[in-house]
Amino acid sequence: MKQYKYWNNQKYYECQLIALWNAAIFYGIKIPIRYGHEYIEDCKKASAFTGGCINTDHVIEKLGLKAIKGELNKKYILNNLPLEFKIICRHGYHSVLSIDVNLNKEKLLLANYVENRLYWLSVERLIKIHNRNLEPIKWNKNK
């Protein structure tokens, strides 16, 4: 896996879109140019400039992804990639995507968790910081 290809930063409040684009990268689906016209338009439609990023259906459809409700338990988390988590942070909720797993150490490699790099986090810790009111989301390629 080439770790440099996943996106780990955001300029606005587009973490949900970053998770979707990283899921597309996972499956080899073409994504917009970072901060290009299509990227900006997707951010506008998703309300990512105002802190919401709640209208992402147009990007999900364009990328051909399908959301499946996941389970917040170790066995499910370690056996399903890519998986999106809504974690609690100082700004509220933040979307991150698991893109690789280390079964021996029970850790996940997360994109858009730490600025400028991917980050290994234990499944135990991830379960603790995930919003317990939401299931993780398993992203599948729909097409």
Full DSSP string of the chain: --GGGS----SSS-HHHHHHHHHHHHHT---PPTTSHHHHHHHHHTTTTTT-----HHHHHHHTEEEEE--SSHHHHHT-SSEEEEEEETTEEEEEEEEEEETTTTEEEEEEEETTEEEEEEHHHHHHHB-TTS--EEEEE--
Six-digit token string for 102: 């280390």
Instruction: Provide mean pLDDT across the span 6-14.
Output: 85
- Fold exhibited by the domain 3-141: Cathepsin B; Chain A (3.90.70)
Task: Enumerate the domain spans of the chain.
Answer: 3-141
For 25-34, 38-47, 67-76, 89-98, which range has the lowest pLDDT when averaged over its residues?
89-98
pLDDT at 1: 45
Structure tokens at 45: 């439609």
Question: What pLDDT shows up at residue 143?
Answer: 65
Check pLDDT > 60 for residue 2.
no
Residue, of 112 and 20, whose pLDDT is higher:
20
